[in-house]
Amino acid sequence: MGLAGFIFSTLALLLAISIIYQRHALRSVSYARYFSHPAAFAGQEVEMVEEIVNRKLLPLPWLRLESSIETGLLFGAQDNLGISTGDIYQNHVSLFFLRSYRHIKRRHLITCERRGFYRLESVTMTTGDLFGLSRKTQTYPLQLTLLVYPQLLDLSELPLPVHSWLGELPVKRWIVEDPFLTSGIREYSAGDALGLVNWQATARTGTLQVHKKDYTADSRLIICLNIEISDSMWRTVTDVQRVEMGIRYAATVAEYALGHGIETGFICNGRLVGTGAADPVSEEPMGRLEDFLELLAKLELDRTLPMGRLLLEQAEAGAADTDYLLISCHQGAELQEAAGVLMDQGNGVEWLIIPQQGREIA
C-alpha cells in the first residue's frame, strides 16, 4: 500500500469512527444524581451522588457532565470536578471515562453554607471519539432538590424578654377543662354539676365522688416574621444578615413550641419559592417541625405586603385566643396599631426585636 492509500485508509477509518460515535455514543447511557439526604441544616454536610452507566460495547473515552445550581452549596475539592461560581449560580462540571458496560458512582461532599431551596432541573452530557472529530450533546431532565433549613439557636441566644414568655406557653396549654377527657375521680365540691357524679365510686367510698376532668390545649401560637428593616422600606431587603437572623429566631421558637405540643402557624410578608410577587406566607398552625422548617427554607426575601396589613387581615378573620409572636427589626406606628387591634380581640402579642449586627442579643 502506498502512502496515498495509507492516508486514504486512515481518513476513512477516522470518518467511520466519527460517524459511529455521532450516532451511538449516548445510546444506552443512563445518568442519575441525588443527595444523600433530602434536607439538612445550614452548616451541615451532605453528599451529592452521581451514577452513570454505559450499557453497550462502545466505550466512551471522555464524557463531560455540566449543570448549574444556586450558590450556597460549597463543593469540596475533588479530581475530575470543576466549579465556577457566579453571583447567583455556580457551574458544576464532571469528567468521566466509561469503558464498555461500565457503571460508575461518584460522591461529592457538600457543605450547606446557606439556608435555601436548591433545585437541579437538568444536566447536559457531552461526549465524542478519542480524536475529537465528532461531538454529541444531549440535555437530560432532572428533578433534584435539597432543602437547607436555617441553623437553630440555643434558647439562651434569643433576645430577652422572650425567654420568660416562652416558658409560659406550655403552662397556658393546660388551663381549660375538656369535658370529654376524664383523668380519675375526686370528692364533690360546691358548684360541681350533678352530671359529673360517679355513683359507683360514691357507693364504694360512702362520700359523694365526681369525675375529674383532664385539661387540653386551647391556645395557638402564630409566629409572624416581618422582613421589613423599617416601616418605610419598599421591597428590597437592605440588611439580609439581620433578617436571616430573624429567620433563625423563628425556627428556634418553632422547635421549642412544637416540642412542647403547641401547634404553631407562620405568617410572613416575604414569599415562598415559586409563588407570585404579591403572595405573602400565611400558614395555619401545624404540628410537625419539618413542615415549619420547609417554609423557612423556601422563603424568599422579597417583601409582598406591609406586616401591619397582614396582622389586620388576621383580626378581620376573627382571630381570638391566639398568641402572636412578632419577630421584627422595628416597631413602627402602623405595626403597633395592628398589634393593638389583635390584642383588643383577646389575643396575646409579644415582640422579638431583631438586634442590629454586632449588638448584644441576650
Claim to verify: residue 261 and residue 296 sit in the same structural domain = yes
Claim to verify: residue 84 and residue 226 sit in the same structural domain = no
Claim to verify: residue 192 and residue 244 sit in the same structural domain = no
Domain span at 33: 22-149
Q: Would residue 10 count as lying in a domain?
A: no
Cis-peptide, bond into residue 179, ω within 30° of zero? no
**In the structure grid, which three cell numbers stand for residue 163, read together?**
425567654
- Listed residue (267, 242, 260) closest to 326, CA to CA: 267
Distance CA(351)–CA(335), nearest Å, equals 11
Q: Would residue 15 count as lying in a domain?
A: no
Claim to verify: residue 112 and residue 202 sit in the same structural domain = no
Claim to verify: residue 61 and residue 118 sit in the same structural domain = yes
Query: Pairing relation of β-strands 116-128 and 135-149?
Result: antiparallel
SS (H, E, C) 64-118: EEEEEEECCEEECCCCCEEEEECCCEEEEEEEEEECCCEEEEEEEEEEECCCEEE
Q: Would residue 3 count as lying in a domain?
A: no
Task: Specify the pLDDT at position 204.
Answer: 72
Q: Would residue 314 count as lying in a domain?
A: yes
Q: 10 Å Cβ neighbour count for 190?
A: 4
What are the backbone angles phi and psi of residue 2, rounded to the nearest 5°?
-75, 175
Q: Would residue 312 count as lying in a domain?
A: yes
Residue reference for cell 404553631: 264
Per-residue pLDDT of the chain (362 residues; tens, 9 = 90+): 577 766 767 677 777 777 888 888 899 999 999 999 999 999 999 999 999 999 999 999 999 999 998 899 998 876 666 676 766 788 888 899 999 999 999 998 999 999 999 999 999 999 988 887 888 899 989 989 999 999 999 998 998 788 778 888 776 655 444 444 445 667 767 666 666 677 777 777 777 776 665 444 456 899 999 999 988 787 788 899 999 999 999 999 999 999 988 899 999 999 999 898 889 999 999 999 999 999 999 999 999 999 999 999 999 999 988 999 999 999 999 999 999 999 999 899 999 999 987 554 43
Task: Specify the pLDDT at position 216.
Answer: 47
Whole-model pTM above 0.85? Answer: no
Claim to verify: residue 166 and residue 293 sit in the same structural domain = yes
Distance CA(65)–CA(122), nearest Å, equals 10
184: left (phi over 0), alpha (psi -120 to 50) or beta: left
Q: 10 Å Cβ neighbour count for 118?
A: 19
Q: Would residue 92 count as lying in a domain?
A: yes
Claim to verify: residue 115 and residue 37 sit in the same structural domain = yes
Task: Specify the pLDDT at position 80.
Answer: 63
Q: Would residue 242 count as lying in a domain?
A: yes
Claim to verify: residue 225 and residue 320 sit in the same structural domain = yes
Letter string b/e over residues 330-347, b meaning 16 or more CB atoms within 10 A of that residue's CB: bebeebeebbebbeeeeb
The one-letter amino acid at 107 = R
Distance CA(176)–CA(155), nearest Å, equals 27
Q: 10 Å Cβ neighbour count for 80?
A: 10
Claim to verify: residue 54 and residue 113 sit in the same structural domain = yes
What are the backbone angles phi and psi of residue 320, rounded to the nearest 5°?
-155, 155
Contact partners, residue 256, CB within 8 Å, separation at least 6: 155, 166
Letter string b/e over residues 205-244, b meaning 16 or more CB atoms within 10 A of that residue's CB: eeeebbbebeeebebbbbbbbbbbbebebeeebebeebbb
Task: Specify the pLDDT at position 2.
Answer: 73
Claim to verify: residue 130 and residue 190 sit in the same structural domain = no
CB-based burial of residue 259 (10 Å sphere; 0-12 exposed, 13-18 middle, 19+ buried)?
A: exposed
Claim to verify: residue 245 and residue 167 sit in the same structural domain = yes
**In the structure grid, which three cell numbers stand for residue 184, read together?**
380519675
Q: Where are the beta strands (DSSP E) in 150-288?
A: 176-187, 209-216, 220-225, 264-268, 271-272, 281-286
**In the structure grid, which three cell numbers stand for residue 160, read together?**
430577652
**How many domains would you assign to the chain?**
3
What CATH number has the domain bearing residue 139? 2.60.40.1530
Task: Specify the pLDDT at position 325.
Answer: 96
Claim to verify: residue 70 and residue 188 sit in the same structural domain = no
**In the structure grid, which three cell numbers stand for residue 274, read together?**
415559586
Q: Would residue 5 count as lying in a domain?
A: no
Angle, helices 162-172 vs 240-259, to 10°: value is 30
Q: 10 Å Cβ neighbour count for 320?
A: 11
Task: Specify the pLDDT at position 241.
Answer: 95
What CATH number has the domain bearing residue 303? 3.40.50
